[in-house]
Structure 1
Amino acid sequence: MPMTHVSMRAGRPAQFRTAVLKGIHESLHEALGVHPEAFFMTITEHEDANFLANTTFPFKRSPGQLLVQITLTAGRSADDKKRFYEHLVGKLKATLGVDPADVFINIIEVASENWSPGNGLAGRNAVIPAANSPAASAAS
């Protein structure tokens, strides 16, 4: 159940922003096996004065770069993450023409107990017991 945030300079159309989020989610699903309904994503647009990101180090990037930060439950291998990075930049290039150099990705891994999907439940796989289940009867 990743949580994704994208920062970018203001001015891109809504269709572009939506396609970026969809591309990220599809890559998370296709390359890392994230559940297809597990999407919790935001984009924040910034005026130039509020967006300072190097365009020359360690290689040249455009002012249109995307800063992508994804929080995931820990446990994926370095190869899994590399596959995701390559999948995502390929998808954004193919669907939106985004230069792969303009996609800066940061993954933050956290332990499962650091998630609460709502209702005060703990753990990324927390579910509310069905009304007729033994767990629901015991909780009553």
Structure 2
Amino acid sequence: MPLCHISLRAGKSEAYRQAIFDGLYRALRDTFDVPEDDQFMTITEHEGANFRYGASYLGIARSDDLVVIQITANNTRTLEQKKALFRRIAELLGETPGIRPEDVFVSLVEVKKENWSLGHGLAQYA
């Protein structure tokens, strides 16, 4: 049950944003065994003055097309699955909508399964 927050600079088309949703969901299905229809994602667009990043942090040449993806997920995946997820996201977003791998920034936040309520005020995974 990943929850994904995607941030990018304003001005991209709806098709571009939908391609990010689609690629991210496919990467999660491919590497994290996310069930069909388990899609909880938001995109937030920011004006340039409200979107700051290290343009060369760790020797990675980022551009204004940077996409920041924060994924909150259960702490049940292996290191290999996490690495596969990061690779697959960069690969799929490179294919469409054409984001350079240098501009794909992913942060994974892991939580215990009992820290979710997916509706009705219930802890479905507890």
Global fold match (TM > 0.5): yes
Moved over 4 A (4+): none
What whole-Å deviation, never above 9, does each CA across 1:16-48 have from its counterpart, x for those lacking one?
Answer: 001101110111011110112111000000001
Normalising to structure 1: TM-score of the pair? 0.86
Q: Percent identity?
A: 39
How many correspondences in the alignment?
A: 125
Q: CA RMSD in A?
A: 1.0
What residue ranges of structure 1 are gaps of 5+ in the alignment?
Answer: 127-140
Checking the alignment, whether the CA contact within 8 Å between 1:114 and 1:123 is kept in structure 2 is no
How far apart, in 2, do the equivalents of 1:72 and 1:123 lie? 14
> Shift of residue 117 of structure 1?
0.3
Larger radius of gyration: 1
Normalising to structure 2: TM-score of the pair? 0.95
How far apart, in 2, do the equivalents of 1:72 and 1:5 lie? 12
Report which structure shows greater RCO (CA 8 Å, sep ≥6).
Answer: 2
Provide the residue aligned with 1:137 in structure 2.
none
What letter matches 1:68 in structure 2?
I
Provide the residue aligned with 1:64 in structure 2.
65
What residue ranges of structure 2 are gaps of 5+ in the alignment?
Answer: none
1:33 aligns with 2:8: no
